[in-house]
Amino acid sequence: MVLPSGFVVPALPYLVVLGLGLLLTTLLLLGLEPPVGKGHVLALLPWMAVGGIAHGFYQIPNPPGLYPEWAGPLFGAPAVYLTTYVLVATVWLLLIVLGTATNSLDRVVTYLGATGLGVLLVFLGVIIWQGMGPELSFQPLWPTVAFLVALVLTATTYFLVSLKWTGEVARTGVAGVAVVFAHAFDGVITTVGKDVLGAHERTPIPATIMDFAGQLPTAEYIGSGWLFLVVKLLLATAVVVAFAEYIEERPARGSLFLALITAVGIGPAMNNVVIYILG
């Protein structure tokens, strides 16, 4: 099995709606050809986090009303990826129209990041609201620790990589930072879940890596999640170095690729944050 447990294909009407939304927004973006650069990776980061939180809300035993019954299937896996894409693409298109009307197309990336940050803050507020409910299930300690550790690891890793590959790091800029942070956070929060909170890993590849680490003599002393964290950091930095030249030669395609790599890190990380705080 190569897919995580919990993957559910939504009913046909949902697939049709998501498929049409995906097709329409993609064609419009391709037709408008908005400029895309490294800053877009950072601007899209909060939107990716929102997608991860939205799926986390779908997984926990929510009180009635958080998701209307008809909307729930939109936030399961893998539908949540399409839902998030259509939402972000729609907002992006609206901002392009607004930027064209106000002669401020150069600020669209800033507006995209700002609106994503605003939506993210609302979702974080919902987490707090849910946790402070009658059951008082709010447990933010370890996710907060994981976030802070990820920041330190990102800064340390990026500094060490820049000593050897200074030019590559300079070329990727904030996009590279986003990639490393996303996967550092995912690695740390997964390690915390495995070794501290006793969580079960749903995705086969991380589970296999941690199971292997659990069989090593070091498992008794440092747990089994560390190897997954190391693998994530190595892969993230390898992507940053390997695609530095590509992002300089083809800024749009390179930036979109790094945005995709960032998404597969920050999305699962924020999903785990929700589960560990409210689950």
For 42-52, how does the pLDDT look when each residue is reduced to its tens digit (9 = 90+)?
Answer: 999 999 999 99
pLDDT of residue 134: 65
pLDDT of residue 26: 96
Is residue 123 in a domain? yes
Report the pLDDT averaged over residues 217-224: 90
Burial 38-72 (b: 16+ CB within 10 A, else e): bbbbbbbbbbbbbbbbbbbbbbeeeeeeeeeeeeb
pLDDT of residue 132: 79
Tens digits of per-residue pLDDT, 163-189? 999 999 999 999 999 999 999 999 999
Is residue 7 in a domain? no
pLDDT of residue 67: 80
Is residue 51 in a domain? yes
Tell me the pLDDT band of 1, cut-offs 50, 70 and 90.
very low
pLDDT of residue 6: 58
Is residue 6 in a domain? no
Query: Comparing C-alpha atoms, which of 36, 174, 193, 178 is closest to residue 112?
Result: 36
Is residue 176 in a domain? yes
Predicted confidence (pLDDT) at residue 250 exceeds the cutoff of 90: yes
Tell me the pLDDT band of 63, cut-offs 50, 70 and 90.
low
Is residue 247 in a domain? yes
Predicted confidence (pLDDT) at residue 64 exceeds the cutoff of 60: no
Comparison of pLDDT for 200 and 37, the residue scoring more: 37
Those residues whose C-beta lies under 8 Å from the C-beta of residue 211, and which sit 6 or more positions away, are 224
Is residue 3 in a domain? no
Comparison of pLDDT for 248 and 63, the residue scoring more: 248
Tell me the pLDDT band of 62, cut-offs 50, 70 and 90.
low
Tell me the pLDDT band of 8, cut-offs 50, 70 and 90.
confident
Name the pTM for this structure: 0.93
Q: Which domain holds residue 175?
A: 12-278
Is residue 274 in a domain? yes
Predicted confidence (pLDDT) at residue 3 exceeds the cutoff of 60: no
d(CA 171, CA 178): 13
What is the average pLDDT score of the chain? 91
Q: What percent of the chain lies above the pLDDT cut of 70? A: 94
pLDDT of residue 151: 98
Q: Which of 32-41, 64-73, 175-184, 251-260 has the lowest mean pLDDT?
A: 64-73
Q: Within 10 A of 197 (CB to CB), how many other CB atoms are there?
A: 15
Predicted confidence (pLDDT) at residue 218 exceeds the cutoff of 50: yes
Rounded to the nearest angstrom, the gap between the alpha carbon of residue 171 and the centroid of all alpha carbons in its chain is 22
Predicted confidence (pLDDT) at residue 21 exceeds the cutoff of 80: yes
Count of structural domains within the chain: 1
Task: Give the CA dihedral 269, 271, 272, 275, nearest 10 degrees.
Answer: 160
Asked whether the beta carbons of 59 and 275 are under 8 A apart, the reply is yes
Predicted confidence (pLDDT) at residue 154 exceeds the cutoff of 60: yes
